[in-house]
Amino acid sequence: MIKKILFSALLFSGLLVNAQTFTATYNFAATTTLSGTTDPTTPPAVTGITCGSFVAVGTPSANANAAGRFSFVGWPTGATTAVDTYSTMTGSINTNEYYEVVLTPQAGYTVAFNNITFTTQRSGTGIRNYVVRTSADGFTNNLPASVTTNTNLSVVGTNEFFWNLDAVTSAQNGSTISLFGATTTSSVSFRFYAWNSEGSGGTFSIDNVAFTGTVSGAAIPCASPTITAITGNSAICSNQTLNLGSTVTGDAPFTYTWTGAGSIATPNASTTSITNATSSDYTLTVSNACGTASSVVTATVNPSPSVSVNSATICSGESATLTASGSASSYAWSTTETTSSIVVTPTASASYTVTGTLGSCSVDVVATVQVNSAPTISVNSATICAGSSATLTTSGTSTAYVWSTGETTSSIIVIPSTSPETFTVAGTNGCATAASAIATVVVNALPSVSVTSAVICAGNTATLTASGATSYSWNTGQSTATILVTPTTSPVGYTVTGTDANNCSNTAVSTVTVNAVPNTALILNPGIHCVNVNTVTLVGGTPAGGVYSGTGVSGGVFSPATVGVGTYTITYSYTDGNNCSAVSSDIMTVSACTGIETLNAETVSIFPNPSNGLVTIKTPVLNTQVNVFDVNGKNVFSQTTTAFETSLNLSHLSNGVYQLNIVSDNQSMNHKIMINK
């Protein structure tokens, strides 16, 4: 089946005086396969135009390949049966191969070509592209083209037709080529170029080529417009639209002008509609190139009645009275009643139309009746913790609310003290029947949270344990039931918040009292004894009441003879009334005491001890050597006495315990002193 494409081209346009339209159609009825390259069919006859014959130029075939249409082979190739896209076409236009026809205005005539329409078709290996050009620009540019409904034909750019598919069978659809130019008195040649054939034997056929336009000249008469009728001037009502039409004879084109009272929708069309029209004259003026005609029509606009009606709101089962009023002389309701007032009892909200009539005019007005049924309301309940508040909110079809608390808002806030506690809300929408709903608030008790307190000695750790809840949060940031704390001040409070399974919380406070540890000291004086001494009662521990311990110590007595020669650490432990303890220690030296005699401790006195650094020594001999050693055994001070009572200035030494060694001839003794400035 052969596919045909119809397209049109607007070539020239212009308004011609004394013009008449024409259509010159080439139907190629006499074309045969032996008729050569010129169409033998008699060209169309048009007043004022000489129509030439169609000619095939540059094609290799000597004759048309079909009868009844202008069709030739031998177009430039460039497509294959497998190629469907424009970008893959390889051929190009050959400006020496085309169809051509020449139309010539006769002497004294001017021609304006409006459009060209024709059908086209291709064989299975036929052309894929075609364009139309004119002699107006020396056949340089393609005429602008467009496609309307053909699904297998498209326009590349704005002026080149392309068959999208290789198929040659499809329904015939329309396409358009648009041309723009001026009127002419000279010959115009039209050429049809085609290329990208799929084979040298592929065809390009055109048929039923029709040129339309207008031709003007002195020999063509011009008919002035005549308004033969104005329609639509029957009487209307003031709430209606006046619709006017016209019948005009003469040579087109015409221009129309309507004038008159009211709002004219289309004042420059052959027909128009007018709102707010009045009983007055309306004029239509029609013009063409040859003259002007006017006609007047008188409209009759009858007054429409003014009608109003009330609406109503009722409760279910009640009746409403609807009353229409105004200038109408009669009324008709959608209920079929014809009185100005009616009584209705709708079961649901409804609308009622009343038509008021005055003479031949009427107006429709709608009344509505809103039917309110008994209200429905609901309200939320809540579960809270003791001391908290609950928000109760009601909803439904009610328009007003009253709570058992006396409040009238849709939402209220309550803080109940008992559990459960109920709150009632009543709702109404203006009807006698009211609705009610009950909210229940359950109040969960707060957990009974307790926590241990503690009394500790400075530097010790206290264990605090909370109970009575399921989870805990301390002000220390910890979240376990038991925590360890080591406070440095006293007293210190620790707050724990306990939360139970109902998510209710309570708090408790733990107090930790921190008692200071006692300040103990031990100065063994003298700190050296001979090995042959059996017992030495230990003194020098402060505060009094502590316990001595160490090697050779029993019951507060040290036995040099038991432990033998050496250096021994003696410890003094003291526990105060708060059960806080402290420990101090000192060194006890046991000497063999051979070769020299030890100074008698009873003949030497050292005071004050402890001291602030100023120490006085009394000895029974002169020229004794006094050496002071620190805890590391370093000699930090030495002095020789020149009197039986000598002052030592040890204020440059740091606070602490020092060993004072006194040597005189073959005698020596050691003594502990404490400096506390």
- Could you give the strand order of the β-sheet that contains 272-275, starting from the edge strand earlier in sequence? 226-231, 242-249, 272-275, 263-264
- Cα separation, 251 vs 25, whole angstroms: 23
Distances in Å between the alpha carbon of 498 and those of 384, 387, 448, 474, 503?
16, 16, 8, 9, 9
Residue 168: the pLDDT is 57
φ, ψ (nearest 5 deg) of residue 88: -95, -5
Residue 169: the pLDDT is 47
Q: Is 449 helix (H, G, I), strand (E, B) or coil?
A: coil
- Torsion on CA atoms 379, 381, 387, 388, rounded to nearest 10: -70
Mean pLDDT by 10 residues, the chain (677 residues): 30 52 93 95 94 92 92 91 80 95 92 83 86 91 74 80 66 48 83 92 89 80 87 90 93 90 95 95 91 94 95 90 96 96 95 95 95 89 94 89 93 94 90 87 95 95 96 96 95 96 95 94 78 85 92 91 91 93 90 57 78 87 82 82 86 88 74 86
- Cα separation, 412 vs 394, whole angstroms: 9
φ, ψ (nearest 5 deg) of residue 341: -120, 140
Residue 7: the pLDDT is 31
- Cα separation, 444 vs 388, whole angstroms: 10
Residue 452: the pLDDT is 96
Q: Is the pTM of this model over 0.85?
A: no
Partners of 505 in the beta sheet?
A: 499
For the chain, the farthest-separated pair of C-alpha atoms sits apart, in whole angstroms, at: 174
What is the end-to-end Cα distance of the chain in Å, rounded?
A: 129
Task: Using alpha carbons, select from 532, 522, 543 the residue that is nearest to residue 587.
Answer: 522
Contact by Cβ (8 Å): 315, 294: no
- Cα separation, 376 vs 429, whole angstroms: 9
Residue 13: the pLDDT is 38
Q: Are strands 597-598 and 667-675 parallel, antiparallel or unpaired?
A: parallel
- Cα separation, 530 vs 439, whole angstroms: 97
- Cα separation, 339 vs 328, whole angstroms: 12
Task: Using alpha carbons, select from 166, 152, 150 the residue that is nearest to residue 88.
Answer: 166
Contact by Cβ (8 Å): 402, 342: no
- Cα separation, 381 vs 296, whole angstroms: 80
Amino acid at 459: G
Q: Can you read off the two tokens belonging to residue 53?
A: 């014959």
